Amino acid sequence: MRIALVAATARGRAAADELAKAWPDRASIVDGPAGDALRTAFTTYDQVVAFLAVGATVRVLAPLLDHKATDPPVVCVDESHRYAVAVLGTHHGAADLARAVTTVLGGEPVITTASESADVTPLDSFAAHLGLRVADPAPLPQVATAVLSGAPVRLDNPDRWPLPPLPPNVSPTAENPAAIIRVGPAAPREHPEPPPAPSATARAPAAPPVTDGAARPGAGGSDVSRETVLEYAAPELVVGVGSARGVSAAEVDELIDTVVRASGRNPASLRALATIDLKEDEPGIVEAARRRGLKLITYPAVALASEDVPTPSETVRAAVGTPSVAEAAALRAARDAGRAAELLVAKHTTAHATAALARLWPRGRLALVGLGPGDPELLTPAARTELARASDVVGLGQYLDQVRGLLRTGTAVHASGLGQEEERARTAVRLASEGRAVALVGSGDAGVYAMAAPALEMAGPDLDVVGVPGITAATAASGLLGAALGHDHVLISLSDLHTPWPVIERRVRAAAEADLVVCFYNPRSRGRDWQLGHAMDLLAAHRPPGTPVGYVREATRPEQRVTLTTLRDFDPSEVDMRTVVIVGSSQSRLIAGRFVTPRGYRWADT
Ligand code: SAH
């Protein structure tokens, strides 16, 4: 991703410098008279940030505009950096770019598209993160209007792609729909449901693959006009290719066309080209994959030999050690990317190549999203993005209230109470297994004393899991105190709910002996009031009484309280469950009123 920065004034130039410094790998300043620089930026970069008036920008770019899906997104920033305006390509990156600009320069993103202001998932980039592509953009405006106006819209998603939410007027059962949104091909499915066993070893069903060139029927059975059926090509196809040495890219390319045509599916649904590892450098295959933007996936012969295929060949086995390359590789790669797969088109052969086509059923999606310690500024942009993608959000009621404003219209919220962790994890995994896009949220990082582990203990291979890291209470507190975690440290939870006390005690003792900085989570509750004092005594046996101790209650929340003291003066009764306590190592010091753990030991001093 290359971002061009264009400025005309000194202030604009200063802000451009600041952005270039913040994004050194991505952003560069395009010099020259503003008009020329803007034209160069627009025609040769992926994204443009212009420190110019919207009007001036539009006048320069107007003759260059082509299509919103292919033009680079453009953001204009006003002279005082109060606003970053998504001017062109809002749903193709400009909205995100505008937000990103304001995280560096301050100010507010200005986004003026209808769906953005109504918090409705935009249709032109709908589920782009899953690889979905609009098959034909012509019906977009009409279907988007139907969605936003509240008219009944039917959503056909027979394979259960884990789609982002849409408003409640969009549903699989909408009657007399004004429009239809369809994910995947329109043709009636011979196998509407995938084979049952979603395990890693699931086999393809013994479906009769299409072996001739007969295309399946096109968009049939619709009760609305063509203009109001919006079809998305889902990345459900994998082409398997085998070849003789020296095959041309053109031959491979044509053969891919043949098998895709035979399937009746949209060529935009191809997601990968799979082959045997012997062919990973075969120029014709590599080039054919590159031209179509397909990922090249290779497998060793032994992996392919174990696939059940319709057209095995002993000649092929003798040559490369597996009776099938094209069919086996297609099937294997499709299954690896989905919860199940089937061979759709059996082997087709030309003079120097073979190809076969497999399709997959997608996995449900489980995002484990850390919300940070409290302050919305400490919720990462990645977490915001995931929350906007979720059809279902699962979490503790108090955290869900924090993020409700970030959810798209139509998101189902599953709130639960304190102590219902197992139920929360179970709900999230069940919904994701049903093919939904689930965000399981927790404060701090979702993987630190939180929901990620219980959820993943229950989750099978039929899910795609996305971990979105969060800023933890420990790092937030360390930063508020100074640089408390500046050198080796350990987190220890003092809650004996999940761990027996003797185990906790053993860990505290070990940390004391190892001279680690210790950060205590869950330090003290009404029913658990002696453990913290006891743990501090264990540490005090190994470090000086003047060792810094810092504790932060409600870090980064309005009621935040930061306290800095020493082992000698520490009073456990000041601490409760909304607090983390950080105890320094023997090297930690108070420097100018800040808790600092120097990086490394200064040997000369010890
Ligand atoms: N996943 C969280 C931890 C949850 S366990 C994280 O990554 O930080 C709950 C414990 O975390 C609380 O008992 C408290 O010790 C600590 N905690 C969470 N948020 C806090 C905050 N804002 N300020 C202080 N302590 C916090």
- Say whether 192 sits in a helix, a strand or coil: coil
Residue at token pair 């959503």 = 155
pLDDT tens-digit series, residues 158-212: 999 999 999 999 999 999 999 999 998 765 445 556 655 444 333 444 444 444 3
Q: Give percent of the chain above pLDDT 70.
A: 92
Q: What is the DSSP string of 261-275?
A: HHHT--GGGEEEEEE
pLDDT at 223: 56
Task: Average the pLDDT over each of 65-74, 232-241, 464-473, 508-517 and give the range with the smallest value.
Answer: 65-74
Q: Residue range 238-251: average pLDDT?
A: 97
pLDDT at 389 over 70: yes
* Ligand 1 mutation target, pool 578, 582, 583, most atoms within 8 A of CB: 578
Q: Residue range 552-557: average pLDDT?
A: 97
What's the 398 CA to ligand 1 centre distance in angstroms?
A: 13
The residue whose CA has the least distance to atom 18 of ligand 1 is: 473
Contact (CB, 8 A) for 280 and 296: yes
In 437-476, which positions are buried (b, 16+ CB within 10 angstroms) versus exposed (e)?
bbbbbbbbbbbbbbbbebbbeebeebbbbbbbbbbbbbbb
In this structure, the residues whose C-beta lies within 6 A of any atom of ligand 1 are 373-374, 442-445, 448-450, 472-473, 521-523, 552, 554-557, 577-580
- Say whether 174 sits in a helix, a strand or coil: coil
Residue 446 CA, closest ligand 1 atom number: 1
Q: Residue range 480-505: average pLDDT?
A: 96
The H-assigned helical ranges of 347-459 are 381-389, 397-403, 421-433, 452-458
Q: What is the rounded CA–CA span in Å between residue 99 and residue 89?
A: 14
The residue whose CA has the least distance to atom 3 of ligand 1 is: 449
Residue 123 gets which letter from DSSP? S
Query: How does residue 111 score in pLDDT terms, banded at 50, 70 and 90?
Result: confident
pLDDT at 187: 54
pLDDT at 165: 97
pLDDT at 369: 98
Other beta carbons less than 10 A from residue 478's beta carbon: 24
Q: Residue range 284-312: average pLDDT?
A: 96
Mean pLDDT of the chain: 91
The residue whose CA has the least distance to atom 13 of ligand 1 is: 522
Query: How does residue 468 score in pLDDT terms, banded at 50, 70 and 90?
Result: very high
